[in-house]
Chains A and B, each alone.
Chain A
């Protein structure tokens, strides 16, 4: 009798553990390259990590430009890649607000306001995210489309390049999935 109960319990446990969306985990797709949206993404990511969640960020499309390191240069790019590299923001400190950018005035004003009110900057948020072991993946296809190389991306603990399947595998295990 007790053996039966134990076996059933083990089966039930295995079932619960393999059920999608039960992990204490947040998977977030960071699609947008706007300063405001990137700040929101990083606040949610660091907040979730502070709440004891495993956090996985998947930077794709316009979001990838936020991970560029302005100090790094890669040679040997073709014309179109060079053009993308020139047109897109070089790193998180070159991002513009998605609204009220006003030729740079709005963005500068918001950055000033954030400093005055002691709101953490993207630099600080990325640092904290690293400390809290927030995992960051970069979408391989977006990097390829825009001509970005892994070598020109920021130094971040365990920064990895992946495809949609990796993101979905993480999302399936997560109890929270966000898209920003």
Chain B
């Protein structure tokens, strides 16, 4: 699966709606097009919200990993 490299890892653990999505929207511009940001979150709503945000904004969720009490979402900047 890992045919991409992580440009940046962001820790959003403990944050609740809407902050994970607000913060990724502020951070996506800090990496180049094609690069991937790894987001760590504990908010289960992010599982639905990140894909919805990515779809609207024209970016991509390349992978989602769920570990015990931690969700990792890999966001690729597409434009």
How many A residues face the partner with a CB closer than 8 A? Answer: 14
**Residue A120, interface by CB 8 Å:** yes
Residues of B within 8 A of A131 (CB): 26
List, sorted by A's number, 7 A–B pairs whose CB atoms are closer than 8 Å: A46-B18, A47-B18, A51-B57, A120-B15, A120-B19, A128-B22, A132-B26
Which residues of A are in contact with B by a Cβ distance under 8 Å? 43, 46-47, 49-52, 117-120, 128, 131-132
**Residue B21, interface by CB 8 Å:** yes
- In the complex the two chains form, is A132's CB within 8 Å of B22's CB? yes
Which residues of B are in contact with A by a Cβ distance under 8 Å? 14-19, 21-22, 24-26, 53, 56-57
Residues of A within 8 A of B19 (CB): 120, 128
B42's nearest neighbour on chain A, judged by CB, is: A118
- In the complex the two chains form, is A118's CB within 8 Å of B14's CB? yes
Nearest-CB distance from A155 to chain B (Å)?
21
Most A Cβ at <10 Å: residue of B19, B56, B57: B19
Q: How far is the CA of A47 from the CA of B57 in the complex (A)?
A: 12
- In the complex the two chains form, is B57's CB within 8 Å of A117's CB? no
